[in-house]
Amino acid sequence: MRAEIAMHSSEIAPRYDVVVIGARCAGAATAMLLARAGHRVLVVDRGRYGTDTLSTHALMRGAVVQLHRWGVLPAVIAAGTTPVRQATFFYGNESVSVPIAPRDGIDALYAPRRHVLDRLLVDAARAAGADVVYGVRIKELQRPDGGRVTGVVLEDEAGDVHGVAARVVVGADGMRSAVAGLVGAEAYRVGQHASATMYGHWSDLDADGYGWYFMPGISGGAIPTNDSQVCVSISVPGADFTRLFAHRPDYAFRELLSQVAPELAEQVARAGHARLHGFAGQPGFFRRSHGPGWALVGDAGYFKDPLTAHGITDALRDAELLANAIGEGSDGALADYQEQRDSSSLDVFESTDAIASFNWDLISVRALHERLAKAMSREVKALLAGQKADGKGQREVTSPLAPQ
Ligand SMILES: Cc1cc2nc3c(=O)[nH]c(=O)nc-3n(C[C@H](O)[C@H](O)[C@H](O)COP(=O)(O)OP(=O)(O)OC[C@H]3O[C@@H](n4cnc5c(N)ncnc54)[C@H](O)[C@@H]3O)c2cc1C
C-alpha cells in the first residue's frame, strides 16, 4: 500500500502553483485544501510517510469540526480512534466533568495518534491531486535579487537537487522552520514560560474521556487514542526538566504521576512498561508569517506551549485561513491571513502561557481554564461562521493561482 502511493523525487515537476514544505497536520491540510480548490500543489517532507512525531495528540472541538467538514473524520473513526465524550478536570481532590455536547456536526472528540492523523491528511491531499514526496528537504529559496520568492531548491536523500518554481512557498515545517530561517521571519511576540512534558502510551487503562490533572508545580493528562491505548503525560516547569528526568525518567514519571493522579498512577503501574518521550520545553511565539511569495502555517509561524493541547487544532484552522488567502491570490490576502490568525489566537496564547508558568494555585488555574474555554468556543464559532471554503472543492476558483 505504502509503496503504491509513494511518489519519487524524480517525479517532482519543475513548476507548481504552491510548494508546501512539511507534510504533517498543517502542511498536509493546507495542501489538501489548495488541491481541492484546483491548485497544482507539491508537498515535501524530509521524514517518512505514516510516522509518529514528538507530540501528544488531544484534539479540541475546532479540530474535530474541521476534520468533519473536510470529510476526513470518518477515516479517523475507522482507524479505531476512541471517541471522547467528556473532559474531566481534576484540581487536587476536586473534579469538574464537562460533557462533549453533540453539535457542529460532531458528537465526540478524538485524539488520533500522529501516525494516523497526519497520514490521513496526506492521503486526502494526495486524493485531491497534490503531489507528495518524502525524503526531501528544502535547501534554498529561489529569490532573485533577494525580493519575491519564486520557488525552492529541494534536495533528496540521494543528494540530487531539484529546482522548483512556485508562486507561493509555504513553510509548514514546524517550530524550527527552515523556511522561516531562509526568509528571516522574525518573532514579534514571544511567551514568557515553557513547560516540559513526558508521555507514553499504555493499554488496559480505564480512561473515561480526557483527564486533565493539576496540582501546584505538576500537571497530568490522560488521552484515549487508537488501539485502545491511552496517552498519559506529565508536565512540569521547563526549568525542572533536567533535574527531574535526566537520570531515572521512568521512576520520576511514575512518582510525579502518583502525586497528581494517584488512581491513574496505580493503573499505569499495573499496566507495565511503556516507552517514554520527553519534550524539554519551548516558549511560544508568533512569527511574521507572510511575505512576497511565501507564507508560514502551523508551528512554523505560531507556536504555543503544549500544556493546553491546542497546536493541532490551531494548525487545522490556520491551514484553511491560509488556503483561502492563497486562493485570493494577493499579498494583501496573506497579510489578512496573519491578522486573522493572530486575533483568533491571542487569548489562547496568553492563557496557555499563564498556565505554562505554573505560577498558579488551584483556584487561579480554574479561572485560566474558564478563559481558555471561552476562547475555544469563540474559535469554533468563528470557524463555522467566517471561513469561505467548505474544504470539498465547491468554492469557485477565480484566483490567479489556478492552474493555467
Ligand atoms: C510534547 C508535545 C505535546 C503536544 N501535545 C499536543 C496535543 O495534545 N494536542 C495538540 O493539538 N497539539 C499538541 N502539541 C503541538 C503539536 O504537536 C504541534 O502544534 C503540531 O505538530 C504542529 O504541526 P505542524 O504540521 O505545524 O508541524 P510539525 O508537526 O512539527 O511537522 C513539521 C514537518 O516538517 C518537516 N520538516 C521540517 N523541516 C523540514 C525541512 N527542512 N525540509 C522538509 N521537511 C521539513 C518535518 O519532518 C515534519 O514532518 C504538542 C507538542 C509537543 C511538543
As a whole number of angstroms, the distance between CA 233 and CA 229 comes to: 13
Nearest CA residue ID for atom 51, ligand 1: 55
DSSP letter (8 states) at residue 81: P
Q: Which residue has the cell 491540510?
A: 29
pLDDT at position 384 = 85
Cell of 142: 529561489
**Which DSSP symbol is given to 213?**
E
Provide the grid cell at 121. 491528511
Helix (H, G, I), strand (E, B) or coil at 242: helix
Distance 263 CA to ligand 1 centre (A): 31
Q: What is the pLDDT along the chain (404 residues), one digit of tens a residue?
A: 343 456 888 889 999 999 999 999 999 999 999 999 999 999 999 999 999 999 999 999 999 999 999 999 999 999 999 999 999 999 999 999 999 999 999 999 999 999 999 999 999 999 999 999 999 999 999 999 889 999 999 999 999 999 999 999 999 999 999 999 999 999 999 999 999 999 999 998 999 999 999 999 999 999 999 999 999 999 999 999 999 999 999 999 999 999 999 999 999 999 999 999 999 999 999 999 999 999 999 999 999 999 999 999 999 999 999 999 999 999 999 999 999 999 999 999 999 999 999 999 999 999 999 999 999 999 888 888 865 433 333 333 333 232 22
Confidence at residue 5, expressed as pLDDT on a 0 to 100 scale: 58
Map grid coordinates 511575505 to a residue.
291
DSSP letters of 82-134? PPB-EEEEEETTEEEEEE---BTTBSSB----HHHHHHHHHHHHHHTT-EEEE
**How high is the pLDDT of residue 285?**
98
Q: Which residues line ligand 1 (CB under 6 A)?
A: 21-27, 44-47, 53-58, 137-138, 172-174, 178, 197, 279, 298-300, 306, 309-313, 315
Number of the ligand 1 atom closest to the C-alpha atom of 175: 30
Beta pairing class for 151-156 and 161-171: antiparallel
Residues 6+ apart with CB under 8 A from 76: 67, 110, 112, 116, 117, 120
Q: Can you say how many angstroms the Cα of residue 371 is from the centroid of all Cα atoms in its chain?
A: 21
Query: Which string of DSSP letters, residue by residue, matches 153-212?
Result: EEEETTS-EEEEEEEEEEE---TT-HHHHHHT--EEEE-S--EEEEEEEESS----SEEE
**Cα(80)–Cα(83) distance, rounded to whole angstroms?**
9
CA distances from 33 to 42, 272, 290, 376 (A): 12, 42, 18, 23
Q: What sign for the dihedral angle of Cα 329, 332, 335, 339?
A: negative
Helix (H, G, I), strand (E, B) or coil at 150: coil
Cβ-based neighbour number of residue 401 at 10 Å: 23
How many whole angstroms from 199 Cα to the centroid of ligand 1? 16
Which residue lies with its CA nearest to atom 22 of ligand 1?
A: 299
Q: What is the pLDDT of residue 393?
A: 35
Question: How far does residue 249's CA lie from ligand 1's centre (Å)?
Answer: 23
CA-nearest residue for atom 16, ligand 1, is: 311
DSSP 358: T
How many Å apart are CA 221 and CA 234, to the nearest integer? 7
Amino acid at 84: V
Of 182, 299, 355, 379, the one to substitute when testing ligand 1's pocket (max ligand atoms within 8 A of C-beta) is 299
CA distance 287 to 187: 4
